[in-house]
Amino acid sequence: MSDTDAGADSETARPIGIYSDYVCPFCYLGRESLAQYQAERDERLEIDWYPFDLRADKRRPDGSIDHDVDDGKDEDYFEQAKENVERLQEEYGVEMSLDLSREVDSLPAQVASFYVEETYPYERWLAFDEAILDALWQDERDIGDPDVLADLASDVDLDPSEVRDVLDGEQWRERVTERFDAARREGVTGVPTFTYGEYAARGAVPPEHLRRLVEGT
């Protein structure tokens, strides 16, 4: 996958791809950057969302997160990341809470969202996706809790019992796990990663970078 500022031809009405994990603060900030770029456009740019698992090596069988697992990210790393988040918050004009994100397992949210994306029209998925993001980063709700996800589904006119059934079964969890594996085979090593055609932009890049990615200008 090429990392470049040069975008594809803007005449092609393809969606922008996003590899992301709901618990990644830079993914939330990247979506705000995308929203700001979207606001500049005359034509809507749809999103192809690809789930990515940041918790794979730290997830206990019960879904809790084991911070003692050595993944090369020490407290200095997280302090630097927090400073970068705060800088981007100011740059993008975003208010968000960081209090809960390190403790939450996003796997249930990703399973539910992937099911909705695969099953319902785009606008239904987008509403659910945005509700999940806001629940964690604005309302400090545990998006690893099936009750929370059922409530969010109800809020956007999806059947909460349907979401509960998906989370209770193994089929969609297995499909999401396959997508996690596919992302790594495709060369994605961190999130957010934005793609457009053969080009990619990594990180919570500013709106003008997304414009260059999509429009080549």
Give pLDDT, residue 13. 61
Strands 2-3 and 47-51: unpaired
Residue type, 199: Y
Give pLDDT, residue 1. 42
- Alpha-carbon distance of 194 to 117, in angstroms, equals 18
Structural domain includes residue 163: yes
Structural domain includes residue 197: yes
**Nearest to residue 28, comparing CAs of 79, 101, 80?**
101
Residue type, 13: A
Count: domains in the chain: 1
Q: Residue 180 belongs to a domain with what CATH number?
A: 3.40.30.10
Q: Cβ(155)–Cβ(116) under 8 Å?
A: no
Structural domain includes residue 52: yes
Strands 199-202 and 193-196: antiparallel
Query: Taking phi first (over 0 means left), then psi (-120 to 50 degrees means alpha), and beta for anything else, what does residue 157 get?
Result: left
* pLDDT digit string (tens) for the chain, length 217 residues: 434 444 444 444 699 999 999 999 999 999 999 999 999 999 999 999 999 999 888 888 887 778 788 777 777 878 899 999 999 999 999 999 988 888 899 999 999 999 999 999 999 999 999 999 999 999 999 999 999 999 999 999 999 999 999 999 999 999 999 999 999 999 999 999 999 999 999 999 999 999 999 998 7
- What does the buried/exposed string (b/e) look like for 128-152 if buried means 16 or more CB atoms within 10 Å of the residue's CB? bbebbbebbbeeebbbbbbebbbeb
Tokens of 150: 């059922």
Q: How far is CA 133 from CA 22, 115, 142, 184, in A?
A: 6, 16, 11, 23
Q: Find the domain containing 73 and state its range.
A: 2-59+69-212
Structural domain includes residue 177: yes
| Dihedral (CA of 207, 210, 211, 216) sign | positive
Q: Give the orientation angle of helix 107-119 with respect to helix 160-168, to 10 degrees.
A: 120
Q: For residue 192, is the peptide bond before it cis, meaning its omega torsion is within 30 degrees of 0? A: yes
Structural domain includes residue 64: no
Structural domain includes residue 217: no
